[in-house]
Every structure is written in structure tokens, then in C-alpha cells.
Chains A and B, each alone.
Chain A
Amino acid sequence: MTDISTSDGAPRKGSLLQQDARTQKRNAAERRFQIYGIIAVSVAVLALIFLLSSIVRNGIGAFSQTFITLDVVLAEDKLDKTGNRDRDEMAKVSTFGYSPLIKAAIEDRIAAEGIEIEGLSKPADLISKQAAADLRDFVLANTDRVGDTVEFKFLASGRIDGYYKGRVTMASAELDRNISPEQLMLADALMEAGALERTFNWDFITAPDASENRPEASGLGVAILGSFYMMIVVLFLALPIGVAASIYLEEFAPKNRLTDLIEVNISNLAAVPSIVFGILGLAIFINFAGLPQSAPIVGGLVLTLMTLPTIIIATRASLKSVPPSIREAALGVGASKMQTVFHHVLPLAAPGILTGTIIGLAQALGETAPLLLIGMVAFVREYPAAPPEGFFDPASALPVQIYNWTTRSDPAFVERASGAIIVLLLFLLMMNLVAIILRRRFERRW
């Protein structure tokens, strides 16, 4: 603390209007201190801006997609040899049987538009490998359309899509084994003829993952559902358990060795590498309790155990910071210990609890490692059902999808991964927004 009087005890002389050397020094220190603060905040915000802008720059392309519209002749002799439109009979024609139809469709279109490009080979490479599956689904759902000519909107292949997003150029196509400059010229010609268009890509958000051969068809549907289910489990288990445990430890537990042990133990749990929680999850929830593999319920339980320490530490810190006078005042007017805690201490600690919860959930939302051993780091194409059964169906998760995409060889997945990160951050921002609103309601100083 500053000295109130100078060493000789004599009153200080000087003008109020003119600062003496010491005041100047103290004021300078004050300004410096404030500048440090501003620097610190700017460092954090700049880092955020830098990271976010690089994510957005890489990922924004994932939200639009190139499509090719073609007239497909659904030849009866290929799709329904018996001619009686029996769905089961027609289902025997696999997707491999549909590819020639698509190939014929694009060749027809090229001929009809009068496009001639020297050295052009395999024009069907412009179309995604997903196309045959889409067409087959359509035919099996509308068996009566066999024999007709149907206008169909196909996904363009990943390289063509990349061409319009600047990822693939004529020069790189020259070297690329999967696309040729002639094919890009064809795409340009088709674009001019109006067969090619780039639109917003809802499928990126709703479609399930696709294999490495068709980056253009992959989406986040299953991952978003999986993450959402897991967050529900985590929120509904970790928040009440975490808060209840903190209240007990902070307010009710007798201060003894045992409480110390629990306290140390909890902060220690926060330092356990997250994959170890996966080992625990495999041993307890799957092998012992018999829960299914790859299920969001198991993922949620494992992430709950993982986030509990974070929430408990944050909650305890904010309970600690509620001044004892509040408790004493409440007790003084006759409240029971329980009433004091629930009616007075807890609301005052709410902002801190919320912060802890948000950080904990953010961590849970972004973790891949603990999901590895319980089978959620997976390629899942079937949507999980609606809750509660859905909690037990296989699903992946957003960070898993991001991780999987970053390890795939096709460069188109880099853009997808960044797009997925944008979606993840939007999730996070929504959660933050709720927290901000709640925090503003509770935050106060006394």
C-alpha cells in the first residue's frame, strides 16, 4: 500500500495543480498498467481475428457447390429387364449399372450443344460418383418413370467444383491425374450453355459423410446430430452434477483431509489426457455396462466425466468469491444453510458457473481423442434416430468429422474441414450467446 505520510512525518508540500515527481511516476505506472491490459486484450483478439479469418477464407467455399443439370434417359432395357416395374427386381441393378446412363446423358448434352474440344476424354469424370447412387434412389422411389427422360441435377465432381472455387487451375490440371485441362474447358463450355451452376449447398449441412472418392457429396448431417445429442447429455449431466458437487465441497463438506483429497483429486482429473477418459469409457460403459459402440450416449457420458473437473473448478472458484458477508447476512436473518446457498450464494456465483460451463462445453464439443476408443471416430452414413433411441444409434461428431476430413488425401476435403470448423464455431457462438444473456442478468458488483 502507498505510504500516507513521508518518512519525516511532516506534511507534504506542493500544489494540487502541479504534480510532483512521485505522483507523475505513479500516474505513469498507472498508464503503463492500463496499456499492458490493452495489449493483452489486443493480442487475444488479434489472434482470434487471424485464426477466424483463415478459417473463413478456407472454408467459405464449402457452403456452395457446383451442379450439372442433364437429361437422363432411364432406359428400360438397362434398369428393368423384366418390364414389370417390380422394385425388388429392379433393386438388383447396382449403382454400377446406372453409370452408363449418366455417361450417355453427358455425351448427348455435349453433342446437342455442339461442343467440340480436342483431346477430350472421359467427359463423365465431370460428374460426381455420387450421381449413380442418387439416380438409383430416384428410380427405385419412382419405378413408373422408367423409360422416360428425366431432367436431373447431379453434383459436379470435386475437381470441377474446385475449378470454380480457384483451387484447381488449368496449370494444376495439367499435372493432376484426376482431371485434364480439356475437361475444365468442357466445364466452361457447359457453364456457358447453362448446364453448370453454382448454388448454396444445403447438403453440406444436412448430408451424411461420403467416402474419399466423392468429397463433393460429403456433409455434416450425422456429425451435427451426434454432437448435438452428446451436448444434450453433457449439459444435462455435467452442469447439475458439477454444480451440486461444488456446492457440497465448498459450502457443506467439513474441512478435513478427505475434502482436501477430493479437491486435489478433482484438479488432477482436469490434467488427465482426454484419451484416457476414452479408455475408461470403453472399459466401463461398453464392456461392463454393455452400452452400444459408436453411440452418442457413451460419448456424452465420457465427455461428461471429462468436463466435470472444469465445471467444478470454475464453480468452486466463483462460489469462493462470493463474500462471506452475504452468507452471514442471510444466516443472520434466519435462513438455513441450504437456503443461504441456494437463494443467495448460487445466484451471485452464476456468472462464473456459466463461464466454466461454457468453457467446459466448448472443450467437450471440440474433443476427438476420448471418442477414439469408444468408436465414434468413424465413418457413419446412417442418421441416428430421434431421441431417445437416437442416443444409442451410431453417430459421429463435428470434431471427428473435421479430423477425418483433414486426414483425407483429396485436397477438396481441406475446404470441407474448414467449412465444418465454421459450423462448429457457430454452434459455439450460439452457446456463448445464451451464456452472455444469462450472465448479463446475473452479473453484478457489490
Chain B
Amino acid sequence: MSCESVRECLQENLEGTRHPLELAARLPDWAQRHLEGCPACREASWQLVSLECSLRRLNEMSPMPVDLTAGVMAALQRPEPVVAASRERFWMRAAAVLLVSLCLYASTYVSFPPLQAGWQLVSGWSLPRLELPGLSESLALVGAAVCLVGAAALNWRWSGAH
């Protein structure tokens, strides 16, 4: 059995152990036999138990230097930090981009050759035309207009959030 498997076995049985002998007693026979013949793993088991005992002392309470209640209450009175506003701006920006994209996509439905030529010139490829049942040219135009108004409203709100 390799040292690596024994080290794994040591750690699996470490929880709740207070003494290396206690740890050794918890180990399966194969690991105990390995420990008897391997000084490096024996040393590692001692070190692990010692480390475990030290780590369990991390939960000891040390006195707090100051009472933070007043500081927290004062901080709560201050306006919300910019982080929240910037998160809001991010989502508004994303929504505006989505609306503009929808508007542009809706425009591909309109049979207006210069528009299609413009698309091809800008993007290098032509967008597939929307073929949805019940979607007419005028409905696509209305949809595009709604999207544009929505994007403009978001942009206005976004400017206000700065």
C-alpha cells in the first residue's frame, strides 16, 4: 500500500481525534501495518494530529478591539454605494443592447433593399429573414419602433442613475 493512500486514510479518520494513538486505533489494519513499517508516515500522522489540535483552537474568541455598533449605524445612514447603481446600469445597458438588436433584427423583415444592402455592407453577411406566422411588415415595423422607444427610455433612466 502506498504512502499516499495512507495519508488519505489518515485525513479521513482525523475528525474528532485528540491523540496520534487514537488516530492509529481508528485506522484499518492495512494502514496500521504500513505505519509500523514507515517512519515518514508515522511522523506525518503525529504532525497531522498536532495540526488538527491547533486548528481546532482557531475558534477561540479573542476580545474585539472596539464596539462597531455605532459605526455600522452611521454607515447605514449614508446613501447606498455606487456598486448598486453600477449593477443597475449594467442591466439597463444590457437590456438596451438587446432592444436595439431586436429592432435591427425586425428591420430585416422590411422589404427595403437599401436596408438589406446596408446590413450586408456593415456585417459582411445577410441576416436570415424572420419567417414567423402572422408577422407582417407593419407589425415588424411597430415592434422595431417599440424596441427603439424602450432602448431610448432605458438610456434616459441610465443617464439618471449616474
A and B: partners?
A: no
Residues in B lying within 8 Å of A, measured CB to CB: none
